[in-house]
Amino acid sequence: MKTILLLIAAVIMPLSAADRPFGLVLHGGAGVIDRTALTPAREAEYRAKLTEAREAGYAVLERGGTALDAVIAAIVILEDSPLFNAGKGAVFTADGTCELDASIMDGRTQAAGAVAGVKRIKNPITLARSVMEKSSHVMLAGEGAEKFAQQQGFAFVPNEYFHTEHRRQQLEAAKKKAAAKKTAALETQADRAARYGTVGCVALDRAGHLAAGTSTGGMTNKRFGRVGDAPIIGAGTYAHDATCAISATGWGEYFIRVGVARDIAAQIEYRGTPLKEAAAATLAKVAALGGDGGVIGLDRAGNLTMPFNTQGMYRGWRLSNGTEGVAIFASP
């Protein structure tokens, strides 16, 4: 009898704020991660930074902050780290500069903001948020985005701030490979190895709201103002309280063509497909076209998913039910 009463109470009583699940998932890029080249010391650095970002985001949620604030808190730490292909440590374009893309979406209102090809903004994810909150647009690119940043009082850094020797070497290697193959193809195998490191975060707050954000330097040796999926709402980033929050990483051209993030949410919206199944089905579409990468996702009930079809994906997660971890490869 007591159990029945409890069950009835559970059904009719809305979850109180204290009982609602909350948490976040983040990624630091999917790609060719050579286990043998990753020294224990380097691996420890990645794990420590992923943990630091995860804990910063989780702390925001724990004290009742918004999913949006948690996403920003986690991504800023990853952008500031030279380990990842976002902010400092971004990959180089063919011209030897860094051009950064970022986007953010609020699942509560479906408001969104994005910037593409910015060269002097230390934390592009914060500019994406300003586009969402302070402009009447969703996406600003290049010089215009920086003009907007200036008006908003953003501090500028020289492009050299983003440069690292490691990425310089990857550019040289990618150029040599491309020249040897006599191809102007955007992506060679060497580029693919050098590409990983995009960062992203999805979060669910105590009020039951979702948010997603993604930030990247794009692809090594990119040319002609190339923009990937990361700043494209519906491709690299998507959040809607009714379905899920998604951030993607991988070969951007394919993720744009599949409309990855929105495709996952659409399956949930139209068919009630569980998040995990939906994400796997969408990644299979990317693979069928010849692309690779991964996504992280979180739904309103606190279910998470982190599939990838590359060697590895840097990732971290922590939920209020006690589930937590950081991982790089498919098997730990």
Q: Is 229 in the site for ligand ASP (CB under 6 A)?
A: yes
Whether residue 198 lies in the annotated active site: yes
Q: Is 215 in the site for ligand ASP (CB under 6 A)?
A: no
* Alpha-carbon separation of residue 258 from 201, 245, 289, 310 (angstroms): 20, 17, 9, 17
Q: Is 219 in the site for ligand ASP (CB under 6 A)?
A: yes
> Exposed (0-12), middle (13-18) or buried (19+): which is 5, by Cβ within 10 Å?
exposed
Question: Of the residues 66, 198, 216, 220, which is catalytic?
Answer: 198
- Contact segment (CB under 6 A) with ligand ASP among 51-59, 143-151, 166-174, 191-199 equals 191-199
Total chain residues near ligand ASP (CB under 6 A): 14
- What sign does the CA torsion over 136, 139, 143, 148 have? positive
Give least dist CB 252 to ligand ASP, A. Answer: 2
Give least dist CB 292 to ligand ASP, A. Answer: 10
- Those residues with Cβ within 8 angstroms of residue 143's Cβ, 6 or more apart along the chain or in another chain: none
Give least dist CB 18 to ligand ASP, A. Answer: 37
Q: Find out whether 93 and 225 touch, Cβ atoms under 8 Å.
A: no
Give least dist CB 68 to ligand ASP, A. Answer: 21
Q: Is 28 in the site for ligand ASP (CB under 6 A)?
A: no
In angstroms, what is the C-alpha Rg of the chain?
19
Q: Which is nearer to ligand ASP, 169 or 321 (CB)?
A: 169
Strand arrangement of the beta sheet that strand 237-239 belongs to = 237-239, 244-250, 293-299, 304-305
Q: What b/e string do you get for 93-114 counting C-beta neighbours within 10 Å, with b at 16 or more?
A: bbeeebbbbbbbbbbbeebbbb
Q: Is 195 in the site for ligand ASP (CB under 6 A)?
A: yes
For residues 178 and 190, what is the distance between their CA atoms, to the nearest angstrom? Answer: 9
Cross-strand partners of 313: 30
Q: Find out whether 239 and 111 touch, Cβ atoms under 8 Å.
A: no
- Contact segment (CB under 6 A) with ligand ASP among 57-65, 153-161, 166-174, 245-253 equals 245-253
Q: Is 218 in the site for ligand ASP (CB under 6 A)?
A: yes
Which member of 23, 29, 57, 297 binds ligand ASP (CB under 6 A)? 29
- Contact segment (CB under 6 A) with ligand ASP among 62-70, 114-122, 136-144, 211-219 equals 211-219
Q: Which residues are catalytic?
A: 198
User: What are the residues binding ligand ASP (CB under 6 A)?
Assistant: 29, 31, 195-196, 198, 216, 218-219, 228-230, 249-250, 252
